Amino acid sequence: MTQKIDMHAHFFPPITREEAAALDPVDAPWLRPEGDGATGQIMAGDRPFRPVDATLWDPALRIRQMDRHGVDVQILCATPIMFGYTYPARAAADWAARMNDLALEHCAHAPSRLKALAQVPLQDLDLACSEASRARAAGHLGVQIGNHVGARDLDDETLVQFLIHCANSDIPVLVHPWDMMTDGRMKKWMLPWLVAMPAETQLGILSLILSGAFERIPRSLKLCFAHGGGSFAFLLGRVDNAWRHRDIIRQDCPQLPSSYTDRFYTDSAVFDPRSLRLLIDVMGEDRVLLGSDYPYPLGEQEVGRLVTHAGLLPEVQQKILCRNIVEFFGLDPRVA
Q: What percentage of the chain reaches a pLDDT higher than 70?
A: 99
Lowest model confidence (mean pLDDT) among 70-74, 149-153, 182-186, 226-230: 182-186
Q: Which residues contact 296 (CB under 8 A, 6 or more apart)?
A: 10
Cβ contacts of 214 within 8 Å, gap of 6 or more: 208, 260, 263
* Predicted pLDDT of residue 336: 46
| Residue 281, H or E segment | helix 273-283
The CA angle 61-66-68, to the nearest 5 degrees, is 95
Each residue's pLDDT tens digit, 178-230: 887 777 787 788 888 888 888 899 999 999 999 999 999 999 999 999 999 99
H-helix or E-strand spanning residue 282: helix 273-283
Dump pLDDT digits (tens) for 245-302. 999 999 999 999 999 999 999 999 999 999 999 999 999 999 999 999 999 988 899 9
Inter-CA distances, 192 with 11, 186, 199, 236, 287, Å: 21, 6, 10, 22, 27
Choice between 311 and 335, residue whose per-residue pLDDT is larger: 311
- Quick one: pLDDT band at residue 335, thresholds 50, 70, 90? low
Section 6-33 average pLDDT? 95
